[in-house]
Amino acid sequence: MIYGLAERGEPVTNTSLASRLEVSPSSASGMVTKLSQQGLVAHVPYRGIELTGEGRLLARAVLRRHRLIESYLVSELGYTWDEVHVEADQLEHAVSDRLIERIAAKLGNPVRDPHGDPIPAMDGSVEELPTHLLDELEPGTVGEIVRVWDTDPELLRYLSERAIGLGERIEVVERQPFGGPIVVRVGSPAQAATHALGKEIAQALSVAVR
């Protein structure tokens, strides 16, 4: 969770961790203290909680397992992208390193999972793409949807039902005032569908701007 918050550029504090993990602030603080004692996190003045180099490598190793399992479930077992997160959570600590690397080889060593999340390499490196959250884009911007940050099954199903998925062309048409939705066109210009997307979705979609 610390890695995920930092990846999005969000502040990592005991409060934000407690909220995301759905535990009490004291429980989150206790977890952070244990990780600090193990040399995996550090408190940085004015910046909050950060992973150390060792902690970052460990987090990426877990993410590699999780995201490869998600990819395998979708590619080989017919799962949909809204079904795999909970399954992968349960499996990521149970399967062996050997099986994970067999899965990677079977899939052709993918660099992105079904949600567009980067899959860390064996050495812990990550292929980063220059992207922007949809919520940051101005009218007239055109790009391609490359990542969905939210794993909420209902949100993913909502997107699927409207053909809003990875690889789709997206154009920002209008930002409605006073906190209103962002109006977008999704799909090829000749067949694009218009949608009004609220802030939660606009902050969950990453776009590679063309």
Supply the pLDDT for residue 43. 87
The conformation of residue 118, written as its DSSP 8-state character, comes to B
Q: Domain locations in the chain?
A: 2-51, 132-209
- Topology of the domain covering 2-51: Arc Repressor Mutant, subunit A (1.10.10)
- Residue 36's beta-bridge partner residues? none
Handedness of CA 126, 129, 134, 138 (dihedral sign): positive
- Topology of the domain covering 132-209: SH3 type barrels. (2.30.30)
Handedness of CA 147, 208, 51, 17 (dihedral sign): negative
Rounded to whole angstroms, the Cα distance separating 124 from 80 reads: 27
| Contact criterion met (CB below 8 Å) for 114 and 74 | yes
Structure tokens at 149: 């940050």
Tell me: the pLDDT tens digits for 77-88? 999 999 999 999
Rounded to whole angstroms, the Cα distance separating 147 from 173 reads: 20
Cα 162 to chain centroid, rounded: 20
Tell me: the pLDDT tens digits for 166-190? 999 999 999 999 889 999 999 999 9
Q: H/E element holding 207?
A: strand 205-209
Give pLDDT tens digits along the chain (210 positions).
999 999 888 889 999 999 989 999 999 999 999 999 999 999 887 789 999 999 999 999 999 999 999 999 999 999 999 999 999 999 998 999 999 999 999 999 999 999 999 999 999 999 888 999 999 999 999 999 999 998 899 999 999 999 999 999 999 999 999 889 999 999 999 999 999 999 999 999 999 998
| Contact criterion met (CB below 8 Å) for 48 and 12 | yes
